[in-house]
Amino acid sequence: MSYGQGGPQSQWDPWTPQSQQPWKSGDDDGTPDWAALADASENRKKRRKVLLVAGGVLATGAIGTAVAMAVSNAGGDSRAGGPSSLPATASLPGGTATTAPSFAPTSAPPPLDPKDFIASANKDTAPLSPETLFPGTQLTMGETVYKKGATSDSKNCASGAGGTLATALAAGKCTRLMRVSYVKDGVAVTVGVAVFDNDTDAQRFKDRADKKSIVAALPGKGVKAFCDSAICRSTTNTLGRYAYFTIAGFTSGKDVTTKDTKVFAAGNDLAQFSFRQIRRRGEAQASAAANQ
- Mapping DSSP onto H, E and C, the string for 6-30 reads CCCCCCCCCCCCCCCCCCCCCCCCC
3-state secondary structure at position 183: strand
Please give the model's pTM, rounded to 2 decimal places.
0.63
Task: Report pLDDT digits (tens) over 198-234.
Answer: 999 999 999 999 999 999 999 999 999 999 999 999 9
Full set of structural domains in the chain with CATH: 119-291 (3.40.1000)
Q: How many residues does the chain have?
A: 292
When the pLDDT of each residue in the chain is averaged and rounded to a whole number, the result is 80
Q: How far apart are CA 260 and CA 120, in angstroms?
A: 38
Instruction: Quote the pLDDT of residue 111.
Output: 76
Q: What is the pLDDT of residue 79?
A: 45
Residue 261 has pLDDT above 50, yes or no: yes
Strands of 233-239's sheet, edge to edge?
A: 138-141, 144-154, 176-184, 187-195, 242-250, 233-239
Rounded Cα distance, 39 and 54, in Å: 23
In angstroms, the Cα distances linking 33 to 10, 24, 30, 38, 264 are 14, 7, 9, 9, 150
Whose CA is closest to 191, among 262, 273, 126, 276? 273
Instruction: Give the ranges where the chain is alpha helix by DSSP (H).
Output: 34-74, 114-117, 130-133, 165-171, 199-208, 261-290
The one-letter amino acid at 30: G
The predicted-structure confidence for 107-161, as pLDDT tens digits, reads as follows 666 678 999 999 999 999 999 999 999 999 999 999 999 999 999 999 999 999 9
pLDDT value of position 1: 45
Q: How do residues 282-291 score in pLDDT, each as one tens digit?
A: 999 999 998 8
Widest CA span of the chain, in angstroms?
181
Between CA 185 and CA 273 the distance in angstroms is 19
